[in-house]
Amino acid sequence: MSFLGALGFDPAKQSVKTEIVAGITTFLTMAYILVVNPTIFAALDDLGMDNGAVFTATAIAAITGTLVMAFLAKKPFGLAPGLGLNAFFVYTVCLGMGKPWQFALTAILIEGFIFVILTLTNVREALVNALPDAIKNAIGAGIGLFIAFIGLQNAEIIVDNSATLVGLDISSPSAWLCMIGLVITGVLFILKVKGAMLIGIILTSIVGIPMGLTHFDKIIDVPPSVGSIAFKFTFDQIFSLDMLIVVFTFLFIDMFDTIGTVVGVSKKAGMMTPDGKIPGVKNIFMADAIATIVGACVGTSTTTTYVESASGVAEGGRSGLTAFVIACGFIISLLFAPVFLAIPSSATAPALIIVGLFMMSPIKEIDLDDYSDSIPAYITLIMMPLTYSISDGIMLGMISYVILNAVSGKFNKISLTSWILAILFVLRYIFL
């Protein structure tokens, strides 16, 4: 088998140029994690979790997971340590519960092996197939709102407001650069320019130079060693109640974040079968599980499939070649970190905001007049950005779907798996 064939690339259906552009686009929209993850873990720097080591660990986890995605699953998805999961690691487990970071890494290692078992036994695939069509369609639209919200936050357009929780602020240079980038990228799309997303990011970054937002200190630097945080596990509390709670929480959030991302992006990419299944989803989940184990070994939080993969899908990425290019981006970033990190988040924010629009199209397949479907779908959609969580959107949507249909007497619409999921979700909110 040829190299491209090993990546699931079909020359009759796909273009090498398109896949490369898609991969670069996704990498640029994901690259912020190389800055954000070490920033979050900086709270543990005094406890021995070196900031520079976390940067390298973040890149290694992303490279490993995305390469497995490229060659095993052959899908255009990128993986990296997940936002939210890293905050839970630092602020809840370590600072809140007072556990050492070695305890949290051990919990993630255990979670990764459980994921492998759940994947091999097809449990995760069964969970995807159990989601009602209305919920599946809502997931894509909800993710669209969610990543647009992330983009607006990254650009400092949406800010904290003590009275209303969120507010609008367009006074900062970051906000202005994002708005300029929206115009540039929007015009490129209107004119149907190939690679509009990537070109938009590059041009916006250039505009950011005179604004003082894009700046280069140096080009090449040696990546810091992960020696101080790699393989630092502690097994003296693996049978404790605290370990059980932490592992279960990591497992639950990661599982449904990944399911939501895979379903939503696959729906948009047209990679789902007419009966709502995703070919090769087992291998997608296996890539996620392997990446989580490797991430724990090198010293970082749970690795998951990234919703920013939607930006590459929007550019036409459909095969593992896109994922391979994403992985190459992270490999290069280890040596050229100053260059990649010079791209301000406000320059990639327009891409996320516009991708949010593209992700909204599945909502057209929801029968809004059938309230037994549309109300749960609406709850799924709206709760993702409002709770800042894909998994919470799915869980609340499924709970409402089962309750509304059961109370309405539409028991034939509720599968046994849906009942089980809804009960588990309710118990999760009660006890965690």
pLDDT digits (tens, 9 = 90+) for 29-41: 888 788 778 878 8
The lowest-confidence range among 166-175, 185-194, 243-252, 340-349 is 340-349
The whole-number pLDDT of residue 229 equals: 96
pLDDT of 214 over the 70 cut: yes
**In contact, 44 and 90? CB cutoff 8 Å:** yes
Residue 397 and residue 259: Cα distance in Å, rounded?
Answer: 14
Mean pLDDT of 278-305: 93
User: Quick one: pLDDT band at residue 2, thresholds 50, 70, 90?
Assistant: confident
pLDDT exceeds cutoff 80 at 241:
yes
* Entry pTM: 0.79
Q: What pLDDT sits at residue 222?
A: 85
Grade residue 52 by pLDDT with cuts at 50, 70 and 90. Answer: confident
pLDDT higher than 70, residue 57: yes
pLDDT in tens, 329-338: 999 999 887 7
What is the three-state SS of 140-167? HHHHHHHHHHHHHHHCCCEEEECCCEEE
The answer on pLDDT for 385 being more than 80 is yes
Greater pLDDT, 157 or 221: 157
Interacting residues of 286 by C-beta distance below 8 A, sequence separation 6+: 68, 72, 73, 116, 119, 120
Q: Residue 404 to residues 372, 394, 398, 412: CA-CA distances in angstroms? A: 6, 15, 10, 13
Is residue 9 helix, strand or coil?
coil
Q: State which amino acid sits at residue 341.
A: L
Mean pLDDT of the chain: 90
Structural domain including 32 reads 3-431
For the chain, percent of residues with pLDDT exceeding 70: 99
Residue type, 190: I
- pLDDT of 362 reads 83
Cβ contacts of 149 within 8 Å, gap of 6 or more: 158, 356, 385, 388
Task: Give the mean model confidence (pLDDT) for residues 59-87.
Answer: 92
What pLDDT is recorded for position 76? 95
**End-to-end Cα spacing for the chain:** 48
The better pLDDT of the pair 180, 271 is held by: 180
CB-CB contact of 213 with 39 (8 Å): no
Output the six-digit token pair for 25. Answer: 């686009």
Give yes or no for residue 170 having a pLDDT over 90: yes
The SS3 assignment for 224 reads coil
Q: In whole angstroms, what separates CA 43 from the centre of its chain?
A: 23
* Euclidean distance between CA atoms 430 and 379, whole angstroms: 19
Which tokens hold the place of 292? 């989580």
Average pLDDT over residues 349-378: 90
- What is the model's pLDDT at position 37? 86
What pLDDT score does 1 carry? Answer: 58
Give tens-digit pLDDT for 388-398.
Answer: 888 888 889 99
What's the number of domains the chain is made of? 1
- pLDDT, residue 197, reads 82
pLDDT value of residue 341: 67
| 251 vs 329: CA distance, rounded Å | 28
- Is residue 432 pLDDT above 80, yes or no? no
The mean pLDDT value for 238-254 works out to 86
| Residue 257's pLDDT band (cuts 50, 70, 90) | confident
- pLDDT value of position 368: 94
CB atoms within 10 A of CB 258: 30
Q: Tell me the CA distances in angstroms from 181 to 143, 144, 147, 186, 289, one per residue in order.
A: 21, 19, 16, 8, 36
The pLDDT, as a whole number, for residue 285 is 92
Residue type, 87: A
Q: Is the pLDDT of residue 174 over 90?
A: yes
